[in-house]
Structure 1
Amino acid sequence: MKLTTHEKTILELIKKHPDIVDNPSSRKLIAQQYGFKEKTLRNRIGDLKKYGALDDLLLRANPLQSFESNYVNDEISMPLLVSIFWNERHLILRNVFIVSLSAIIFSLIMPKTFRSTAVLMHPSSDDQSGILGALSQQMPFGSLMQGGKDESMDFMAILKSRTVMESVIHEFGLIDFYQSDNVERALESLRENVNIEIQEEGTITTSVNVSTGWFHPEEEELNARQMSASMANYFIDQLDAVNKGLKIEKASFQRLFIEKRYRQNIVDLKNAEENFKIFQEDHKMISLPEQTNAAIQAASAIKAQQLASEVQLGVLTKTLNPNHPNVVRLNNEIKELKIKLNEMEYGYNISDQDKLFPSFSEVPELGIQLMRLTREVEIQNTLFTFLTQQYEDAKIQEAKNTPTVQVLDKGKIPELKYKPARARIVIIGFTFSLVISMYYLHFLNRWKKITAN
């Protein structure tokens, strides 16, 4: 390649100061020192790059940078790549075969995991059967109290609780199975192999994974299959046992509370009935409305007789002497009738034992007292009926031993492994080895080309 004198001068300058090729500040400084313009120096360097006059020089100064620059700038020829891969096909096939065979062997000897899943129906709440539920049904706005508690989250909490987890660990000897140092480590391993979820349709799934060891025999696979199903079903049994215990405990507390209130109500009802009886005895009151009506009729009769006697007296006083026996008799009769009316109205000069009817002045007060006592007796009677029903219901709930969970699908012994996915492992190994081999040949060919230049 023939260069001009000016280009040779620039080339010698680059040999002394190779950083002027890519460093603008260095290039500007060197240009000023040698009497060049920075633009002129930059253009000549660009021409030398096009001629290839700087490749060998840059390779000696920075081989890696030269390699990257050629890799980025040079065009990749697909026919050339195909030719390279074909010529080195034995290397590619050997690498792919070795890696794929290793992936197959690895997938065959690695631990197998088996999964068994138990499915529970969406739980229905029976909390409204207690005292609050009965109250809400009788209250005008009782529907506002019926919130409808969803027990799904309660089931989830019980299944994930330490109590259930430790019970599973001790039942199946998982400390030794997981080769754990203590219960805490076994708990961590168990939680990693148990999946509890609420599905969109509302069912609750409990899945248990059990893995074999490396280079495992067929018997170990059978034990892992059986163990996964047994653990899934044991989780459901423990859920029912714990939930049942919690409900019985709750029913026991409710029964004790209702029993205490029930016995207090018996005392209150007895006192209310006794006060009502004493009030009736003291005031000789059987039925206040009927007795009042009878008193009014008697008073009306007395008043009518008084008026008749007064009329008769008025007639006699005009014709007879005031000392006449008939006049005296009528005056005495009118006087006694007035006294009797006063007695009936105000209760004057009459003892409580001699009263047959309540005094008219006492009727409002007696009516209020009678109403209050009657109301108290009715309240205590209503409460007694309600508490008796709730007390019997609480005793039934406390003694009830029926299942609290509905199992839709029990855990079955799995016929197929859950993981590993052998086909996926082999495909990944095959693809990885093929791509890496092709990239290796491509970069090796480029490096040889650069070093040869």
Structure 2
Amino acid sequence: MFIDIFIVIARYRGRFLGILTVITLISLGIALLWPKTYMSTAKYVQYDSSVSGSLGGLISSFTNLPSGGEKVNTEQSTIILRSRTMLDTVIEEFDLASVYEKEIQEELRLKLEENTIIEEIREAGIGFNPIVSVSVSVLDRDPQRAKEMVEFYLEELDDRMVEINQRNAQRILTAYEARYQQNLTDLETATQELVDFQKTYGILEPQTQTAALIGNAAQVKAQMTALDVEIGVAQSLLSASSGEVTELLERKRQLEKTYNSLIVDPVNATRSPDEVFTDATLDVFPALEDMPTLAAEYLRLFREATVQQEIYKVLLPQYEQQKMMVMESNSGLELIDQPNLPTYKEKPKRAFIVIAGFFFGLFAAFFSVSFADFIRKGKQGEQSEAYQKYQELMSVFQKS
């Protein structure tokens, strides 16, 4: 079998070598004339480079409130790079319609996608692992333009990531700001209501003031009891119209007025029970019978003011920190490899083209000499049946 093949090649060696040489030379010419294509590459990673990141984490650990806002991660950055908007921006920036000699936008996008290589480097392991770094490469006939296109890709990516991050942070800031302003209003209202209540009823410490009122009332009651004994003794020794009895009765009347004022009417409980309680002192402390209701109202107002104050303590740091996050919004991109200016072509692979042409030439030359040998044998009648079918086929093509 192999001997027959070599015999055929030897018989038609001129044709065989001619075809092989021509095709090999054609492939060599193609390899030499094929336009050179250069590739520029850059590689980046993403970090959380926010200055207030640690502060935000500390505040969030105490408040359990979200801070910062959703940021574009590395996975999403590759989506932005491959987006139609990004492709259209690059096409317009570098006038790729004239470079690629195409007018249809869809064809331009497909061509740019072919010339843009985005490679994701992931952590080693089984399953879906996070991206460690991303490399962006651009193929172009002009090495300088390839470098500039990679730089433009990265600049646009950074700008769009900053824009999205800032918009997300601003959305959270708006929510915090609305709640913070509401808290300021509520705190001012609660504080003013508490101040007005204290101005009206003079309550600062319900428990302490109630104890003081009860103590004063007890002292007044004790003095009244002692005075009753003294009046009884005086009336038994003196006439009812005597000056001493009249004076004792007047003192008793004043003490009863004082006692009733402590129980029913507001009085100045800070004064000694021996002092005379005048109308000018009746608006400082409430009566004992009003204390439960007033104390409950005071505690409610005090609680509301305290709650609003605690809310303020929580919201203010978060609000201020969120404003910092908006001002410091960034992409977090860090370049590991800067875009390079290629000095050696990426394509074409001339050796591969020549080798492929050589093997194709072998195939074409062998097919040609095999066919020539088939015709020779047919004319000599060695393959009459196959040769007749060949002649019949050729006649059909000639008629058509």
Alignment partners' CA distance in 1, 2:40 and 2:154: 12
Q: Is the 8 A contact 1:196 1:207 kept in 2?
A: yes
C-alpha deviation, 1:210, in angstroms? 0.8
**Match 2:216 to one of 282, 294, 298:** 298
- Corresponding residue for residue 187 of structure 1: 109
For residues 441-452 of structure 1, the aligned pairs below 5 Å read: 441=369, 448=377, 449-451=382-384
CA deviations 1:59-103 (Å, max 9, x no partner) are: xxxxxxxxxxxxxxxxxx344344444444444333322222211
- Corresponding residue for residue 204 of structure 1: 134
2:152 equivalent to 1:234: yes
2:79 equivalent to 1:157: yes
What secondary structure sits across from 1:374 in the alignment?
Answer: helix
Q: Is the 8 A contact 1:113 1:420 kept in 2?
A: yes
For residues 225-374 of structure 1, the aligned pairs below 5 Å read: 225-251=143-169, 258-305=176-223, 312=229, 340-347=258-265, 354-374=282-302
What is the one-letter code of the residue matched to 2:384? T
- Corresponding residue for residue 46 of structure 1: none
TM-score by length of 2: 0.71
CA deviations 1:190-216 (Å, max 9, x no partner) are: 2332223432142122211113xxxxx
- Corresponding residue for residue 428 of structure 1: 356
Question: Which has the bigger relative contact order, CA under 8 A and spacing at least 6?
Answer: 2
Report the CA distance shift for 1:92/1:341 in structure 2 as closer, same or farther (over 3 A): farther
- Corresponding residue for residue 101 of structure 1: 25
CA deviations 1:288-340 (Å, max 9, x no partner) are: 23212222322333344456567x479969x8899698999888877876665
Report the CA distance shift for 1:324/1:422 in structure 2 as closer, same or farther (over 3 A): same
- Corresponding residue for residue 416 of structure 1: 344
- Corresponding residue for residue 42 of structure 1: none
C-alpha deviation, 1:408, in angstroms? 1.7
Alignment partners' CA distance in 2, 1:281 and 1:440: 116
Report the CA distance shift for 1:147/1:264 in structure 2 as closer, same or farther (over 3 A): closer
What secondary structure sits across from 1:203 in the alignment?
Answer: strand
C-alpha deviation, 1:283, in angstroms? 0.6
Alignment partners' CA distance in 2, 1:175 and 1:352: 94
TM-score by length of 1: 0.64
Q: Is the 8 A contact 1:292 1:358 kept in 2?
A: no
Q: Is the 8 A contact 2:70 2:168 kept in 1?
A: no
Alignment partners' CA distance in 2, 1:429 and 1:290: 106
The alignment yields a C-alpha RMSD, in angstroms, of: 4.4
Alignment partners' CA distance in 1, 2:325 and 2:332: 12
C-alpha deviation, 1:106, in angstroms? 1.0
C-alpha deviation, 1:263, in angstroms? 4.3
Greater Rg by CA: 1
2:45 equivalent to 1:121: yes
Q: What 5-or-longer segments of structure 2 have no aligned partner?
A: 124-131, 268-277, 387-400
**Match 1:171 to one of 69, 93, 105:** 93
For residues 78-93 of structure 1, the aligned pairs below 5 Å read: 78-93=2-17
C-alpha deviation, 1:175, in angstroms? 2.0
Corresponding pairs, count: 362
- Corresponding residue for residue 55 of structure 1: none
Q: Is the 8 A contact 2:265 2:282 kept in 1?
A: no
CA deviations 1:136-179 (Å, max 9, x no partner) are: 4333x559x99985612332233234443333233322221122
**Mean CA deviation greater in 258-267 or 412-421:** 258-267
Alignment partners' CA distance in 1, 2:54 and 2:291: 44
C-alpha deviation, 1:273, in angstroms? 2.0
2:66 equivalent to 1:138: no
Instruction: State the percentage of identical aligned residues.
Output: 26
